[in-house]
Amino acid sequence: MDECIFCRIVKHEAPAEVVFESDSIIAFLDINPLNFGHVLVVPKVHSNDFLDIPIDLLDELVHVTRKITKAIVDSLSPDGFNIFSNNGKAAGQSVFHFHFHVTPRYKSDNFKFIINLKKYKDGEMSNYAQRIRRSIS
């Protein structure tokens, strides 16, 4: 019935290299790391994505993510770090149980994000801003 891999890790039914655990949050190493020491910070309650997670839990998750990031910086001495979250298949989400990634970065790691930055045409930028502003409640 419950096939979510992160829910199984939360219940300790699936193996994971856990680095932090509280009543509401668990953090463990990504088995396919961008760099070694790449951690996933996961709320124990199943939420599909960033918009689905209860706001109080999100606050707590952000605090724990910062704690984990500090520990990665202190223990691994990377040159930098990325914190990110993929939401939706189009954005590269593969496990539909919300989580933050924290990955150490090194000057020599030679990652290349393939991105196509767009240019707004005249008036388009204010149009997009207006649409978003109107939807903020």
Nearest residue to 99 (alpha-carbon basis) of 2, 9, 13: 9
- 37 membership: H or E segment, kind and range: none
Question: Which range of residues in 30-38, 40-48, 99-107, 122-130 is near Zn ion by CB under 5 A?
Answer: 40-48
Token pair belonging to 18 = 């856990």
Name the residue nearer to Zn ion (CB basis): 5 or 19: 5
Using rule CB under 5 A, residue 7 touches Zn ion: yes
Decide: 84 and 56 in contact? Cβ < 8 Å. no
Question: Which range of residues in 23-31, 35-43, 80-88, 91-99 is near Zn ion by CB under 5 A?
Answer: 91-99
Decide: 29 and 19 in contact? Cβ < 8 Å. yes
Using rule CB under 5 A, residue 97 touches Zn ion: yes
Q: Distance between CA atoms of 49 and 57, rounded to whole angstroms? A: 13
Using rule CB under 5 A, residue 101 touches Zn ion: no
Catalytic: 12?
A: no
Nearest residue to 42 (alpha-carbon basis) of 20, 53, 22, 27: 27
Using rule CB under 5 A, residue 8 touches Zn ion: no
Name the residue nearer to Zn ion (CB basis): 97 or 101: 97
Active site residues: 99
Which residues are at the interface with Zn ion (CB under 5 A)? 4, 6-7, 46, 97
